[in-house]
Amino acid sequence: MIVITGGAGMIGSIIAWHLNTKLGRDDLVIVDHITHEAQWQNLVHRQYAEYLDKDQLFDFLEGNDDVSAVIHMGAISATTERDFNKLVEANIHYSQDLWAWCTEHQVPFFYASSAATYGDGRLGYDDASVDKLRPLNGYGYSKHFFDQWALNQLPENSPPAWAGFKFFNVYGPNEYHKERMASVAFHTFNQFSQTGAMKLFKGTKEGIKDGEQQRDFVYVKDAASIVAYFFSAALTNKPAHPTTNINGIYNIGTGKARTFKDLATNVMTSMGKTPNIEYIDMPLDLQGKYQYYTEAPMAKVRAAGYKSPMTSLEDGVKDYVQNYLMQDDPYC
């Protein structure tokens, strides 16, 4: 039995999709706390054994000896969350409690970190170390704190296998409930469909042209594939490189930064339309807390034995737009 917290979220539901369709696993316990009225639809195509609210999970786990892994994607993921007490409870204490349960019961544990831990990027994006990082917001700090805490645990106080994943800019199906925090790919599709144009930020930093802020955009199916690789390696104790100890923190991106202009243009051309982009000022609540460039070094994931190629921006956007967003049923 595999527990997936945040299993009704974007990444969690696509991990469940991967486990269902690629690994033939339907012994899933989906855990979440759904607040958006349409988010339940992320689960309509999934095969799973049980659904639990996040507050029911520890009662379910008590005395349960049939859990083979915990994939912990549940969190407050809004970079704009201002209530730090909520972030501490949801992103730190809840994660620590799951870590402790997995340690006691010797169950592999995999969790979502974030590229937001890297802050403005001045110290680079190297997943070999988390020292000296300076996140730009409370969400990023809550993830950074847990990364540091996990790395400081002694082996005897840790699950038998564990990994944290610093997700970069993930886009793709089942993100529709995220509203403002959904990807620019999703917003481009909707804005362009409604108005005939897409609005991107002006280049508000010296040397940055309009729309040419860069991100490492990673397709959600690739993100799920990497998590599933680590899960499979832990269960078989056979990573692709047999001498590799997989425990640690890993970037999940493509290793290639692309501009928002590239992303938006590919969305519109995938719709069969001529691109039309307008440029606007950056909102005040993002100024000084905005990453102008991210790119995920992927050497550590490759060294752990993950061999599949990453989906290009062009191919990922085309699949997302044509096989999901343009369909009557956009859910994966």
Task: Report yes or no on 330 lying in a domain.
Answer: no
Same structural domain for residues 28 and 104?
yes
pLDDT at 83: 87
C-alpha to C-alpha distance for 75 and 69, rounded to whole angstroms = 18
| 285 and 302 part of one domain | no
The reply to whether 191 and 245 lie within a common domain is no
Q: Which residues of the chain have pLDDT under 70?
A: 241-244, 288-289
95 and 82 co-located in one domain: yes
Signed CA dihedral, 169, 175, 178, 179: sign only: positive
Q: Which residues contact 293 (CB under 8 A, 6 or more apart)?
A: 121, 213, 214, 215, 257
Count CB-CB contacts under 10 A for residue 243. 6
pLDDT at residue 236, rounded to an integer:
84
Same domain, 204 and 263: yes
Residues 53, 40: Cα–Cα separation, whole Å: 12
If asked whether residues 201 and 224 sit together in one domain, one would say no
User: What's the pLDDT score for residue 80?
Assistant: 75
pLDDT at site 242: 65
Do residue 131 and residue 269 come from a single domain? no
At 79 the pLDDT is 76
Which of these, 78, 75, 77, 106, lies nearest to 93 by C-alpha position?
75
Tell me whether residue 315 is in a domain: no
Write down the pLDDT at residue 118.
93
What whole-number distance in Å separates Cα of residue 119 and Cα of residue 227? Answer: 23
Domain that holds residue 58: 2-168+220-253+297-310
Does residue 46 form part of some domain? Answer: yes
Question: Residue 135 sits in a domain of what CATH number?
Answer: 3.40.50.720
pLDDT at 155: 92
Q: Is residue 332 part of a domain?
A: no
Kindly state whether residue 23 falls inside one of the protein's structural domains.
Answer: yes
Note whether 281 and 201 are within 8 A (CB).
yes
Q: CA end-to-end span of the chain, whole Å?
A: 22
- Determine, yes or no, domain membership for 108: yes
User: Could you give the number of structural domains in the chain?
Assistant: 2
Packed helices 94-105 and 138-151: angle between N→C axes, nearest 10 degrees = 20
The string of DSSP letters for 308-328 reads PPPPPHHHHHHHHIIIIITSS
Catalytic residues: 139, 178
| Nearest C-alpha neighbor of 121 from the set 179, 199, 205, 224 | 205
Continuous segment of H or E residues that includes residue 10:
helix 10-21
Strands 169-171 and 162-167: unpaired
Residues 158 and 180 in one domain: no
Specify the residue for token string 């805490």: 149
* CATH code of 183's domain: 3.90.25.10
Same domain, 140 and 180: no
- Residue 331 falls inside a structural domain: no
AA letter at 132: K
CA dihedral 249, 255, 261, 262 (to 10 degrees): -130
Total length of the chain: 332
Residue 231 lies inside a defined structural domain of this protein: yes
> Based on the domain organization, do 102 and 191 belong to the same domain?
no
| 75 and 129 assigned to the same domain | yes
Q: Residues 28, 97: one domain? A: yes
